[in-house]
Chains A and B, each alone.
Chain A
Amino acid sequence: MDLAIQLDRVTKRYRAGRSRTVVDLIGSALERARGRAQDVHSTTRGRIDADIWALRDVSLDVPEAAGVGVIGRNGAGKTTLLKLISRVTWPSNGRVRVAGRVVSLIELGAGFHPELTGRENVYLGGGLFGLTRRDIDRSFDRIVEFADVARLIDTPMKRYSSGLYARLGFSVAIHANPDIVLVDEVLAVGDAAFRRRALEALRNLIADGKTVLFISHDMWNVRRLCDQILWMEEGRVRAYGPAAEIAERYMSEVNLQALANQGTALQSHRGGTGEIRYTRIEIVDAEGRPSVALAPGDTLVVRAAYRAERPVARPVFQVAIVDVDTGLVITTATSRLNDVPDAVGETGMIECRFPRMPLRPRQYVLRVSITDSHQLASYDLVSAGPRFAVSGRGSGVDGLADEEDGLVSLPFEFAHHTGDVPVLHQA
Chain B
Amino acid sequence: MPTDAVQKPLIDHAEPIPPGAYWELLMNLTKREVKGRYSQSFFGVAWAIAQPLATMAVFTLVFARLAKMDSNGAPYPLFAFAALVPWFFFMNSVSSGTLSLITYRNIVTKTYFPREIIPLAQVCSRFIDFFAAAALYALLMLAYGAGVGVWGLMAPLFFLLLILFTVGLTFATSAMNVFYRDVNPVVQIALQLWLYLTPVAYPLAIVPERFRLLFVLNPLSAIVEGFRAAVVFNRAPDWSITAVATTIILAVFVSACVMFKRMDKYFADVI
* A208 contacts across to B, CB distance below 8 A: 1-3
Q: Which of B23-31, B87-95, B189-197 contacts A (4 or more CB under 8 A)?
A: B23-31
Q: A99 near B7 (CB under 8 angstroms)? A: yes
B11 within 8 A of A: yes
Please report the total number of A residues contacting B with Cβ < 8 Å: 50
Q: A111 near B111 (CB under 8 angstroms)? A: yes
Q: A128 near B107 (CB under 8 angstroms)? A: yes
B109-123 with Cβ < 8 A to chain A: 109-113
The CB with the most chain A CB atoms within 10 A, among B32, B40, B110, is that of B110
Given the known interface contacts A113-B32, A127-B21, A128-B113, the answer about A107 and B268 at a Cβ–Cβ threshold of 8 Å is no
User: A110: nearest residue on chain B (CB-CB)?
Assistant: B110
Which residue of A15, A87, A99 is within 8 Å of B13 (Cβ)?
A: A87
B8 within 8 A of A: yes
Q: B32 near A116 (CB under 8 angstroms)? A: yes
Q: Compute how far the CA of A106 lies from the CA of B112 in the bound complex, rounded to whole angstroms.
A: 11
B209 within 8 A of A: no
Q: A87 near B14 (CB under 8 angstroms)? A: yes
* A99 contacts across to B, CB distance below 8 A: 7-11
Q: B110 near A106 (CB under 8 angstroms)? A: yes
Q: B8 near A100 (CB under 8 angstroms)? A: yes
A417 within 8 A of B: no
Q: Compute how far the CA of A111 lies from the CA of B15 in the bound complex, rounded to whole angstroms.
A: 19
Q: Which of B46-54, B179-187, B242-250 contacts A (4 or more CB under 8 A)?
A: B179-187
A98 within 8 A of B: yes
The CB with the most chain B CB atoms within 10 A, among A2, A87, A123, is that of A87
Number of A-B residue pairs at CB separation under 8 A? 126
- In the complex, 13 of the A-B residue pairs with CB atoms within 8 angstroms, ordered by the A residue number, are A15-B270, A19-B270, A21-B180, A88-B111, A89-B268, A97-B10, A104-B111, A107-B110, A124-B25, A124-B29, A127-B21, A131-B24, A179-B8
Please report the total number of B residues contacting A with Cβ < 8 Å: 44
B213 within 8 A of A: no
B230 vs chain A, min Cβ distance (A): 36
A115 within 8 A of B: yes
Q: Compute how far the CA of A104 lies from the CA of B109 in the bound complex, rounded to whole angstroms.
A: 11
Name A residues whose Cβ lies closer than 8 Å to a Cβ of B. Answer: 2-3, 6, 14-15, 19-22, 25, 64, 83, 86-90, 95-102, 104, 106-107, 110-111, 113, 115-116, 120, 123-124, 126-135, 177, 179, 208-209
Q: A104 near B20 (CB under 8 angstroms)? A: no
User: B182: nearest residue on chain A (CB-CB)?
Assistant: A22
Q: A116 near B24 (CB under 8 angstroms)? A: no
Which residue of B3, B17, B36 is within 8 Å of A177 (Cβ)?
A: B3
Q: B182 near A6 (CB under 8 angstroms)? A: no
B212 within 8 A of A: no
Q: B25 near A6 (CB under 8 angstroms)? A: no
B265 within 8 A of A: yes
The CB with the most chain A CB atoms within 10 A, among B7, B13, B25, B40, is that of B25
Q: Compute how far the CA of A242 lies from the CA of B129 in the bound complex, rounded to whole angstroms.
A: 59
* A135 contacts across to B, CB distance below 8 A: 21
B9 vs chain A, min Cβ distance (A): 6
* B110 contacts across to A, CB distance below 8 A: 88, 104, 106-107, 110
Q: Compute how far the CA of A285 lies from the CA of B246 in the bound complex, rounded to whole angstroms.
A: 85
* B9 contacts across to A, CB distance below 8 A: 99
Given the known interface contacts A88-B110, A88-B268, the answer about A97 and B39 at a Cβ–Cβ threshold of 8 Å is no
* B13 contacts across to A, CB distance below 8 A: 87
* A98 contacts across to B, CB distance below 8 A: 10-11, 14-15
Q: A90 near B265 (CB under 8 angstroms)? A: yes
A142 vs chain B, min Cβ distance (A): 14
Which residue of B10, B32, B106, B109 is within 8 Å of A124 (Cβ)?
A: B32
B208 within 8 A of A: no
Q: Compute how far the CA of A123 lies from the CA of B28 in the bound complex, rounded to whole angstroms.
A: 7
Which residue of A19, A97, A104 is within 8 Å of B112 (Cβ)?
A: A104
Q: A130 near B17 (CB under 8 angstroms)? A: yes
Given the known interface contacts A2-B7, A95-B12, the answer about A20 and B17 at a Cβ–Cβ threshold of 8 Å is no
Q: Closest 10 CB pairs between A and B?
A: A127-B25, A132-B20, A97-B10, A100-B8, A87-B112, A87-B14, A130-B17, A124-B28, A90-B265, A99-B8
Q: B15 near A102 (CB under 8 angstroms)? A: yes
Q: Compute how far the CA of A89 lies from the CA of B269 in the bound complex, rounded to whole angstroms.
A: 7
Q: Compute how far the CA of A292 lies from the CA of B183 in the bound complex, rounded to whole angstroms.
A: 56
* A6 contacts across to B, CB distance below 8 A: 10
Q: Compute how far the CA of A95 lies from the CA of B36 in the bound complex, rounded to whole angstroms.
A: 40
Which residue of A87, A104, A133 is within 8 Å of B24 (Cβ)?
A: A133
* A19 contacts across to B, CB distance below 8 A: 179, 181, 270
B29-45 with Cβ < 8 A to chain A: 29, 31-32, 35-36, 39-40
Which residue of A2, A3, A87, A209 is within 8 Å of B2 (Cβ)?
A: A209
Q: B180 near A88 (CB under 8 angstroms)? A: no
B266 within 8 A of A: yes
